[in-house]
Amino acid sequence: MTSRRDFVAQLSAFGLALAGYPRIPVLVRPRFVANPFSLGIASGDPTADGAVLWSRLAPDPLNGGGMGTEAINVRWEVATDEGMKSVVKRGTTIARPDLGHSIHVELDGLRPSAWYWYRFDAGGAESPVARTRTAPPANATPDRFRFAFVSCQHYEAGLYTAYQHLAAEDVELVAHLGDYTYEGATNPDARNMLRRHQAWEPTTLEQYRNRYALYKQDAMLQAAHAAFPWVVTWDDHEVENNYASDSPQDKAEQGSFLVRRAAAYQAYYEHQPLRKASIPRGPDMLLYRTINAGRLARFHVLDTRQYRSDQACGDGIKAPCAEWSDPKRVVLGDTQERWLTRGVEQSQSRWNVLAQQISFSRVPNPTQPTYHAMDPWSGYPAARDRLLAWMAGQQQMNIVVLTGDIHASFVMDVTRDALQPETPTVATEFIGTSISSGGDGFDRWGQLLNYETTVPNMRWHNARRGYVRCELTPDRWTTDYRMVPYVRRPGAPVETAATFVVEHGTPGAQKA
């Protein structure tokens, strides 16, 4: 079916500008055995004049995609109306087999702070229409900016009801802070599991693709992607629980782990609306980056997995050993840490947001006061203290840390000394709960029943599921914790369980 003319036409239009990827024949008129847009469509990483449009052709999603070995010509169009009548941009791109027939279109030339609608067409098979939004103008401070953040969507643990509610929110951006997929094989003994992972734990590219395909067929997840642009970053489970740089959790895997990491990173790229800068090179992938909302907010999107030192003292939650306080141990790595501190210092934004995975504040256990969690920042005290000392000199930058990972909500005043909550507050941290991980959840962790009196810098805690909605103005940051009472059966309503504000120039959260 491939003609030489198809191939030549594509080369002249695009030059197949992916460095390191070979030129291959392109099929202009493919035929599909089933809907190739089974994984939905999405957008992300907005700028003031564009965004990235994403999809992946997968007519047989759970079996490698079902696309064969040829590249596919895909048309896209962008309109200013939902009915796609006023098309303002259109073009074609190529879905390559060596990138899982994923599609990543980087738009430019659009108007700032504007909604757009988009769709794809591959050989006459049309995708649904989805919506995206450009960022505010680069040199202006909008009156307000609304976004939401989410994390941790274990497929077996619960339904994505929170996404159904999120899709109806009035926000301009969604930040996903990691654990988009989980790598475990389904547990044959877990008879009460709501829905099932495949029977294997992924280690190969095809297996990781099939795990993404399982997750991305969820209609509520697709609806949330179709409603807003997302900015994504990963935690551990997109590869393997509690891995650190080139160290797997299971040390028996040490020799081959980077091969596995390369497969997982590539599958991550293939399934997210990321720019070409994030195309993986072997086991390495650039994920930390900056997203601006004009001069109102700058999102410093961090990668706390790829460059970190191995967890100290054998990982876990325990009394520290000598390794714990080694000043050479890092979370971000030197390059990313320098990039972050310079990026904040040079920022002209009112709010500087650290969009990242792991608890920055110490989330203490009052019944075990000498224990520290070794995987989050608490396990890297020298790296955290270096950032805290720096934050103490940046209070006019209004640093707000956003966190996922622990499947519970916390509002924390970030204190100059993380182990001494009576020291001055230098920043604010909002830890968001999971979408589904952990199942229905409950009101409080048992050890925090009396946190109001035992943990002075903890403003609020809850362990239900949901998402976090934030509204920023130049003078005030407002955070609403949006909670669903259950995820193990459908139809949960959503409610605002708590609202906190941060005033410009005054780090720390106050109950609204």
- Distance separating alpha carbons of residues 281 and 199, to the nearest angstrom: 29
Q: Which is nearer to Fe ion, 415 or 434 (CB)?
A: 434
Tell me the Cα Rg of the chain.
22
- Can you say whether residue 313 is alpha, beta or left, with left for phi > 0 and alpha for psi between -120 and 50 degrees? left
Q: How far is the CB of 439 from Fe ion (least distance, A)?
A: 12
Q: How far is the CB of 150 from Fe ion (least distance, A)?
A: 11
Q: How far is the CB of 407 from Fe ion (least distance, A)?
A: 6
Q: Could you tell me if 79 and 114 are in contact, meaning their C-beta atoms sit under 8 angstroms apart?
A: no
- The yes or no reply on residue 359 touching Fe ion (CB under 5 A) is no
| Sites for Fe ion among residues 241-300 (CB under 5 A) | none
- Binder of Fe ion out of 6, 45, 156, 179 (CB under 5 A): 179
Burial 443-454 (b: 16+ CB within 10 A, else e): eebeebeebeeb
Stretch near Fe ion under the rule CB under 5 A, chosen from 100-108, 175-183, 240-248, 264-272 = 175-183
Stretch near Fe ion under the rule CB under 5 A, chosen from 260-268, 335-343, 371-379, 429-437 = 429-437
- The yes or no reply on residue 152 touching Fe ion (CB under 5 A) is yes
- The yes or no reply on residue 358 touching Fe ion (CB under 5 A) is no
- Distance separating alpha carbons of residues 197 and 167, to the nearest angstrom: 25
Q: How far is the CB of 239 from Fe ion (least distance, A)?
A: 13
| Sites for Fe ion among residues 183-212 (CB under 5 A) | none
- Binding-site size for Fe ion (CB under 5 A) equals 3
- 19 by DSSP, 3-state: which? coil
Stretch near Fe ion under the rule CB under 5 A, chosen from 11-19, 83-91, 437-445, 474-482 = 437-445
- Distance separating alpha carbons of residues 208 and 182, to the nearest angstrom: 10
Q: Which residues pair with 13 in a beta bridge?
A: none
Residue 320 CB-half CA count within 13 A: 17
Stretch near Fe ion under the rule CB under 5 A, chosen from 84-92, 146-154, 168-176, 363-371 = 146-154
- The yes or no reply on residue 431 touching Fe ion (CB under 5 A) is no
The DSSP 8-state label assigned to residue 336 in this structure reads: H
Stretch near Fe ion under the rule CB under 5 A, chosen from 141-149, 210-218, 251-259, 435-443 = 435-443
- Binder of Fe ion out of 394, 398, 437, 457 (CB under 5 A): 437
- Distance separating alpha carbons of residues 130 and 384, to the nearest angstrom: 40
Nearest Cα neighbor of 352 from 308, 394, 413 is 394
Residue corresponding to tokens 């004009």: 294
Q: How far is the CB of 182 from Fe ion (least distance, A)?
A: 7
Q: Which residues bind Fe ion (CB under 5 A)?
A: 152, 179, 437
